[in-house]
Amino acid sequence: MITTKTRKNEDELTEIIIKTKARGDDLSDIVMGAAGEVHRLLGPGLPADTYREALSMELTRAGVPHECGREVPLRYRGAGLRCPLRCDLVVDGILVVGISVLAAHDPDAIVRLQRCLELTSRRIGLSLSFGAIDFREGDHNVLTPHPDTPTATPLRRPNASGRD
């Protein structure tokens, strides 16, 4: 039997999830725009750290709160490891961004981002690939850790005019 209080809690949780997803979608669009600008100015072929720092600068210019290189402590058999997992960017505490420098699908980057999502209890991840000559042709994915959703969903690509 579902009580009124339980139903209210479920409704509130659903509303929070919907708002978080909408905010995550907005943040994904903002980050994609900033990443496109970084790629336009720097081009492909640089280390991932370079793109992370430049993307951080773009997000700061846009007034978007974020953290670079958030360390996620790892444990093995109950003991803390000295080599934490580092998430490239966490944007507004909601969106985890992984950066790759490969032009094609990078399964290692996807798995690393998936682990960042799980270990930080975040629900939305964005994998960016800076390796393609044209950023719009790169392999960019949105990830969610929920078991009922695909591991990686390709982002929609803008048409030739740059508009959807």
Cα separation, 31 vs 23, whole angstroms: 12
| 0.85 surpassed by pTM | no
Question: 138 to each of 47, 77, 95, how far by Cα in Å?
Answer: 16, 39, 20
Q: What sections of 43-155 are H helices per DSSP?
A: 48-61, 107-120
- Residue 124, H or E segment: strand 124-129
Q: Given its phi and psi angles, is residue 127 left (phi above 0), alpha (psi -120 to 50 degrees) or beta?
A: beta
Token output for 153: 């969903």
Structural contact between residues 134 and 157, judged by C-beta atoms closer than 8 angstroms: no
> What is the structure's pLDDT at 62?
92
Least confident residue range of 102-111, 119-128, 132-141: 132-141
Most confident listed range (6-20, 57-71, 147-161): 57-71
Q: What is the pLDDT of residue 77?
A: 93
Cα separation, 17 vs 33, whole angstroms: 24
pLDDT in tens, 127-158: 898 988 888 777 677 776 645 434 444 444 34
Higher pLDDT, 92 or 162: 92
Least confident interval from 14-18, 65-69, 112-116, 119-123: 14-18
